[in-house]
Structure 1
Amino acid sequence: MNLFISHSSRNANYGNALVELLIGIGISADDIIFSSNDAFGIPIGQNIFNWLRTKISEKPYVLYLLSPEYYKSVACLNEMGAAWIIESSHTMIFTPNFDLRSYDFQNGALDPREIGFYINNENKLLAFIESLKTSFSITNNSVLINQKVKQFISVIKPFFQIETSLSKNASEVNEKQVSIANIEMQPIIKKETITNRIISVSPNRSRFYSDLINDKLKDEELLLAKYIIDTDKFKLGTGWQESNEISNIKAWEDVHELSNVLSNSYNGTIRRLDMKKLTEVSAFTSFGNPKEISFVDEFKHELLDPSDELNEKLKEVIEKHKRNESLDF
């Protein structure tokens, strides 16, 4: 049986630590499917949607790494729905900042009455490992298991400390924005002045955001943003891997019944984002040529937590590029 870790790419740090724990207690690396790590992810040349569909249909043991980011990801919710339909064995694991009372969790595909556990709960982790023994080959060395669990807890501890700090900072920024928005101004200059003042208290905004506010984004750039949000992919193929990425984009366009605007202009769109300093090379070939790009942190955050302005623009561009007739599948 394979073990599939369904997660948001924004929680890849927790997922990587979890993979190391599972391997450390005896589970074969070949049995683990974890798309945020190339060693456990989608093979080169495979279509992401078809590959995941095949793996899920094989009824793997699913670990749902649930977080606020998970429920904001269309790709994650699709994975959850597919796995739920085939009734895979599964376990729910919650990141420390996840609220079990959230509407999305209480009304989602997974039964909120099932027992899950928070990822930083040492005793629950030990009980979880014991339960895996019915499906996987786990070491019987209890001392080793305890060591691996303690090591795991120490590795992930900084993750939620950083999340707490970022959440606090975000709240402070929101308070400043509300304060600025309430300042009384003359009607003629009110909109422009408020916008400029809000940007000034948010220095980490990307060029993408400023172009969005000033209505300077091309349709292809907005469609690429929607593709990234839907697929939860923040690393894209370039160079010799560009054709694979374009194939994935075409599959996404087919699913959403969109014209091929993005797939036909992918190379130019990536080059425009590069000129705006929104991308960076994240992997090279053995000859030193780029084969993968990732996005700068500011741009990632704007897509992971899209503003009302961005959501509105994405709706408009999707409607604009809908095909005239539906596709038959």
Structure 2
Amino acid sequence: MHKNQITCTSVPQCNIPVGCNIYDWLAKQFQTSDLHVVYAFSDNYYSSVATLNEMGAAWVMRCKWTGLLLPGFTFNQLAGCIDKNQICIKLDDPDIITLKQRLRQFRDDIIKEFGLESIDEDEWEEKRDDFLDKIKIIAQQKNVKTTPSNPVTSAEKKYLVYYDERWDCKLFLNYKTVDRADEESVINKVSADLNVDKSQINCRYISSKVQEKYSESHQENRIYNHRLYEIKIQVFPEDEQKENFVVNGRHYYWMSISDMERDPNIVKKNLDVIDFVKESMHA
């Protein structure tokens, strides 16, 4: 995208032309241009009358928008007329894999929306990593402590999920079982996957539910008999207590139910299972 296609009043090369009335010029852009608004949310943003006026104008015109949370700014600070359920990109997100995935999705959406030429992948990764390095420097200069992408209260229970490549989605641990009383098989598989001694693992059957859903891996509707087991591990390896970690080539994440419900990809592909777990574990 060329700089003359971008308006940013804080950047000289993309500023409002000399001699123009600021608000008249901006009003014309909202009325005549196909806009995609990119918000840079911060404390300074919300203390500016001008930026809040622009937010209101974008809302009235129903402009497409993307939100970037600057270092130190959290999701629960979002306010105003924006849809707070829309996924934003937190630039100091410690989950670097999720951050890079969301930046890539933003790039792809802009390319598709405006019919732009694709950027070379090597060049993209170089520019992206340079950008993220600058963000880290800014955060350090402001003495900002990195915060989780989806903060939750310490009282909220978290579940272990993993990234499934076939589904392109974060899923609960899942295994094929023969019948309801298959706890030993589940324990053996969890032990092998997480490198945890079987003696440290407790497993109990909770409930079951037959559901029809679309299989992303098979590209068709299938009937599933979901059996829910609760797994408790007495002593977790230190590395596996982190918010996300990799074991045996598989990427795992600790997520609460509300974390999952805020993830549009999980909601699209696995909401029925999330609801099943939610109903069964909170009954």
Relative contact order (alpha carbons < 8 A, sep ≥ 6): 1 or 2 greater?
1
Structure richer in helix, relative to its length: 1
Normalised to the residue count of structure 1, the TM-score between the two structures is 0.39
Bigger radius of gyration = 2
Normalised to the residue count of structure 2, the TM-score between the two structures is 0.46
